[in-house]
Structure 1
Amino acid sequence: MIDMERRDRALDFRWGIPAEFLWAAGIPDTPDRLYDQARRSIYAAACIAADETPGADGWWISYSRRKEFYAGAQRYQGLPFTYERVTAAVAEGVALGLLEEQRATPGAHLAKDPRQSRFRATRDLLSAFQDAPFSYTRRPCHLVVRGDDGRPVTLPRTQALDRMTKQVTRINAYLQGSTLTLGTGDGWEHGTRTVRARSERTGGWSATTPEPVNEVVRIFSRGRTDKGGRLFGWWQQLPKARRAECRINGEFIVEPDFSALHPTLLYAMRGERLRHDPYETGLYPRQHGKLALNIALNARTLHEAAASLVHNPSWGQSLDYTWGVLKAVQKRNKTIAKDIGADRGIDCMRIDSAMAIDVMAACEKAGVSVLPVHDSFMAPASQRSRVEAFMDEILARTVNKLSSSKSSTNR
């Protein structure tokens, strides 16, 4: 049985080893250009996984060997990336000693602990391309709808879907007008392709591979466009303290955020205004109330929330203590008590993602550069007050709309 690590990366095809580097390394040429593009992307992905996750156990990339997995995937990944080409490229890499592979048994993806086949770079692959510059390919689609299994699904084209796709395209055109300069010094490690940054909160290191363009992908969940929908960009993998050391268009960055956003939205959906600190219970530290409430809003049940907290590396508390905090935040927030442990976070994400788009539209109109980080925005320090004003206006408008909707349904 394969012991699949949670650190396994999903296979993507944004980077590729230039063709001339393959030939120089003695990898056989092929007349199939699409297959060649697929294998160059797979080798690059394996190298980047090793760059971002140092250590012998951290290089794995999960991928599927089921034909069904690739049905409709070309819309999201591009023409070269079919079942036949991906599996053949991995097999060739293994035969050449460039990849190591572990295959999952058929049906393992349906198990309680789902498993997929996986591969990683060998030392020979890393030695061959350690200092090679990789080419970058933009995503063919910047709006993704994932099913319950995490696999992208293809929805019928509708006016609403086309409108959202055009919206993300416009956002990316706007984001590319910003220049993001990463920090240096203590807390940073800059590699050939990858940047590692230390978290001030945990002391751990996170890694990302900066992309040559600032752009986001909007990801919906559960096969629906009313679930999730947040915008994801590569800079979001940097710890908050490190993001503050970066610059946008030469200016140091501030990152205003929406305070207690999901509780605020849920109170509004119940027809009330949040007028207190939802995380302050008076019995437990505020940071524990905040983490417990936010995790519970995203959990399907309170038992799932308790388990998530106990296994969270930053929690470190007993199960009895955990249940005490959960009950305390429920008591503190009686208006939304039924929403706690009821899988409401994904609905709130659909709302906050629309708010983020509205904030960026306002910033674009005002000529202000920002980069989204879910419910906060990286912005030039000189523009903080303008960005916060846009955020306050959009939050007030959203809360009023949700409260009005609740009031109208109660008539």
Structure 2
Amino acid sequence: MIKDEQLREEAMAAANYDDQSRKINQPSRSIFWSRDIASPLFEIVLQNICNEIEGKEERSRKRSIRAHHGFTRMVKALVLDLYVARKSNKRMQLGLPLNKNEYSPTNNYHRMVSFYQSVALSYVHVQSAYKGLEACGYLRTEKKGHFDKEKGKGKRTRIRATQKLMSALEEQAHITLWQIRQLEGCNNIILKDENKDIIPYEHNSQTTKMSENLERINRHLSTFWIDLYLKDTEFEALRRHVWNRHLEDEEALPSIDVSARTLRRIFNNSSWNEGGRFYGAWWLGIPKEYRKYIHINGKQTVELDYSGMHPALVYAEVGVTPPLDPYDMGLENVVRDVKKVAFNSLVNASNKNIKQHSDFNEMDAGCSWQELLEAIIDAHSPIREYFGSGFGLQLQKKDADIAEKVMLRFADMQYACLPVHDSFLVHHALADELREYMEHYYMEVAGAMAKVDGKSILTYDAPVEHKFVDMGNVEEMLSGGEYREYTNRQYQWYSYIDNMNIT
């Protein structure tokens, strides 16, 4: 199905790697405390797990009602996150902080979890939940954490769900990924300082409005089944690709959880005028080559993007019409994508000392990296003052504001619209509407005309034999062949929707 040769090779490698390779570079991420689920069956299983843990504890007296509630909340948080991690990548490990200092109200970790995830952490309850789940065989400690006082650095304890936990949740509680949601009260408008550290802030009318809009968008997206139509081996190849990219860039997502449809906005440099783009949803973390396989409610999608968006936005600042192709400045031997990266780097950076792109080869290009940068500046003399100015983060604020307006418009129409920074994916029949609103809101925010291109006019169409699966026929669903994982997720999604409609 995947026609790109590199992706095909990755799929074959994923299908054939041996057990020894699984022990190398195990995927891991920090634990999330803000998962929730509305399921009476889960609550029964959770209470049984808590009772089992307390039955093994050597306590002189029972916990108070308040303490029992806090303990149960921590068990629930660990159980749900262990489950999600295992489902997104069966080798995924969670980094659990067990340093007592991190649970102090004055500690930055504690403050950030409280402010952004709306969870009040307790060292005592976390320790009890962790030790109890391990003693009862629901989690396994893969590697103990440590802290180097001299260096002031350390590694967190890594844990992973056991089959006992997965069986309890899937066979007794009958939960699926689609039921798990974000805890109410979480703050998805995130502010980072100049060091890229997440910081708290005082709410104002601007952050309140952005929060309300984002909550509305997230609530709307949660009603759609958004998935990748891939063979099982190809999906595994994608998992490995994403993990390898995470090893190179910690900001990149470490795994693919197709139930992660919650967006968040991230602002930079302690400013509400810099950044603000949307992150968090799974489709933002996959290679662009895979976007054509994204389906919404099992239907094909179309992706449209703004052509040369950031160059056009900079030119709009000076009231000058941009070139038809802002990335054409001669130098035919330089790959266009390299020119594009170099241009955007010049606009984003606070100086003109831009690190050479990894794909740039001086011999092939026929020029030096510095000569390329100078050619870009000369070709765009009307906006010369913006190069090396750090203005790019303000452009990100504008493109994110445009994206917010486009998504809200589609929410009004009761259709899903998936953002990918300067592009969007919608049901293929909505291509004309998407183009219209992209152009309209670009003019509204930037005060200029937009050029909208189709990145994939029609995405991959499933073969007939795989396209229609009878959701009432479990035997047919389970015999999905090469697409078994996809059809299983399809069955789980529509079962979840049916139960939601009943309740």
Q: What is the TM-score normalised by the length of structure 1?
A: 0.75
* Partner residue in 1 for 2:180: 136
Change (3 A) 1:91 1:153: farther
Query: Partner amino acid for 1:293?
Result: F
Residues 1:324 and 2:379 are matched in the alignment: no
* Partner residue in 1 for 2:300: 252
Alpha carbons 2:140, 2:159 under 8 Å: kept: no
Alpha carbons 2:278, 2:400 under 8 Å: kept: yes
Alpha carbons 1:368, 1:383 under 8 Å: kept: no
Please point out which of 113, 121, 138 is paired with 2:159. Answer: 121
Alpha carbons 1:145, 1:219 under 8 Å: kept: yes
SS in 2 for 1:9: strand
Residues 1:164 and 2:210 are matched in the alignment: yes
Distance 2:206 2:255 in 1: 35
Deviates more, 1:228-237 or 1:61-70: 61-70
SS in 1 for 2:419: strand
Deviation at 1:353, TM superposition (A): 0.8
Deviates more, 1:267-276 or 1:10-19: 10-19
Identity of aligned residues (%): 19
Change (3 A) 1:280 1:250: same
Greater Cα radius of gyration, structure 1 or 2: 2
Distance 2:389 2:27 in 1: 27
SS in 1 for 2:388: coil
Deviation at 1:183, TM superposition (A): 1.0
Distance 2:383 2:419 in 1: 28
Deviation at 1:169, TM superposition (A): 1.8
Query: Partner amino acid for 1:306?
Result: K
* Partner residue in 1 for 2:141: 98
Please point out which of 97, 109, 115 is paired with 1:75. Answer: 115
Residues 1:9 and 2:29 are matched in the alignment: yes
* Partner residue in 2 for 1:306: 355
Deviation at 1:189, TM superposition (A): 2.6
Which whole-Å deviations, capped at 9, do the CAs of 1:316-360 have from their partners, x for residues lacking one?
Answer: 646984333333322222233333333222211111111001112
Deviation at 1:152, TM superposition (A): 3.7
Alpha carbons 2:398, 2:446 under 8 Å: kept: no
Distance 2:50 2:438 in 1: 52
Change (3 A) 1:126 1:279: farther
Any unmatched runs of 5+ in structure 1?
110-114, 403-411
Deviates more, 1:282-291 or 1:362-371: 362-371
Distance 2:351 2:89 in 1: 33
Alpha carbons 1:144, 1:220 under 8 Å: kept: yes
Which of 1 and 2 has higher RCO (CA within 8 Å, sep 6+)? 2
Q: What is the TM-score normalised by the length of structure 2?
A: 0.63
Residues 1:61 and 2:99 are matched in the alignment: no
Change (3 A) 1:378 1:51: same
Change (3 A) 1:50 1:173: closer
Change (3 A) 1:100 1:323: same
Change (3 A) 1:369 1:48: closer
SS in 2 for 1:37: helix
* Partner residue in 2 for 1:226: 273
Distance 1:393 1:279 in 2: 24
Distance 1:177 1:60 in 2: 28
Alpha carbons 1:34, 1:79 under 8 Å: kept: no
Deviation at 1:259, TM superposition (A): 1.4
How well do the aligned residues superpose, as a CA RMSD in angstroms?
4.0
Distance 1:347 1:401 in 2: 17
Distance 1:61 1:240 in 2: 29
* Partner residue in 2 for 1:34: 70
